[in-house]
Structure 1
């Protein structure tokens, strides 16, 4: 099986990139394949333009860069998003990637005279968010619930893609990277086990 690992961080030496690499290593150890989409290094343009709006209105086909990202997702069994928490959310780069790539007519169908359809039911999603604050801080302010509402439900439930796992790796500013990198390797090794257990439960 094949995993598309999307990492959104401008520094290739960041913990985000290290975690993405460890997840990829775990996928390989489990006998599967992966692709890492470094959307910062690749120069993906996250700006939602008039053309993207026209795509939403089903007036034009997606731009070439968007179509290329959709093709990468179409070739994957599982989508993994690895990103730092910026201002209690995902980076604008990743949000813009979702805004443009998860378009009407591909990720879902809606519009006048169109019965709404969630088109990504086949795609399992794994979220790995990396934050500097403590678990206590996140819990006190209700961030765990907010993350599930905004991302798990607000994005992926809308297109029908079930979130198999949702991880928050915290205390990254006070702890060394070893524990988080070890956890990332374990995530990679069990990535498709989570898929299989969910499929069996369904």
Structure 2
């Protein structure tokens, strides 16, 4: 199996990058392959442009950078997203990646008057969020539950993708991230262990509908 591990943090020396690396290690230690996609280093543009609106509304072909990301996901058997918690959600870079890449016609089909078609049912998505607050803060205000509603259900369930595991890794009081790094490596091993070869992979990217088609 092949896992795509997407990381969104501008500093390569960050804890977020260290967690992503250990998830990839866990996959590889189990005898499988993993690709690290560093959105900041690769210069992905998260801005949702007029062309992206046209992709959604008129089914124009996505731009080359979006098609490249979609192809990278199509090659993967599992997707892992690793990110710091900014304002109790994704950082803007990762949210913009979701906004642009998980487009109408590729991640789902939304046609007026027809049932929603969820197109990513083959793809398991694993989440690893790195937070700076303590568990008491997350529990008292319901932040983690709100994140799961917004992200696990609001984004991935809408596309049909299952989220087998959402990890929230919080800064230890003593500053020692060793235990959390172990959790990250175990998550990578879980991704490999839970891979099902019976999941149907897409045969090819669908051709976009003509401009204005519904």
Aligned pair 1:89/2:93, yes or no?
Answer: no
Match of 2:14 in 1: 14
- After the TM superposition, which of the residue ranges 175-184 and 187-196 deviates more from structure 2? 187-196
Match of 1:122 in 2: 122
State how far apart, in whole Å, the 2-side matches of 1:128 and 1:176 are: 18
Q: TM-score, normalised by structure 2?
A: 0.88
Aligned pair 1:104/2:81, yes or no?
Answer: no
Cα deviation 1:25-76 (Å, max 9, x = unaligned): 1101111101000000000000000000000013410000000000000000
State how far apart, in whole Å, the 2-side matches of 1:190 and 1:116 are: 31
Query: How far 1:94 sits from its partner (Å)?
Result: 0.1
State how far apart, in whole Å, the 1-side matches of 2:93 and 2:14 are: 16
Q: CA RMSD in A?
A: 1.4
Query: Runs of at least 4 residues of structure 1 off by over 4 A?
Result: none
What does 1:29-108 correspond to in 2, within 5 Å? 29-108=29-108
- After the TM superposition, which of the residue ranges 164-173 and 142-151 deviates more from structure 2? 164-173
Where 1:128 maps in the other structure, the secondary structure is strand
Q: TM-score, normalised by structure 1?
A: 0.93
Given that 1:57 and 1:111 are in contact with CA atoms closer than 8 Å, whether structure 2 keeps it comes out as no
Length, aligned pairs only: 197
Unaligned runs of 5+ in 2: 200-214
Where 1:140 maps in the other structure, the secondary structure is helix
Unaligned runs of 5+ in 1: none
The structure-2 alpha-carbon separation of the partners of 1:195 and 1:164, relative to structure 1 and needing over 3 Å to count, comes to: farther
Aligned pair 1:179/2:179, yes or no?
Answer: yes
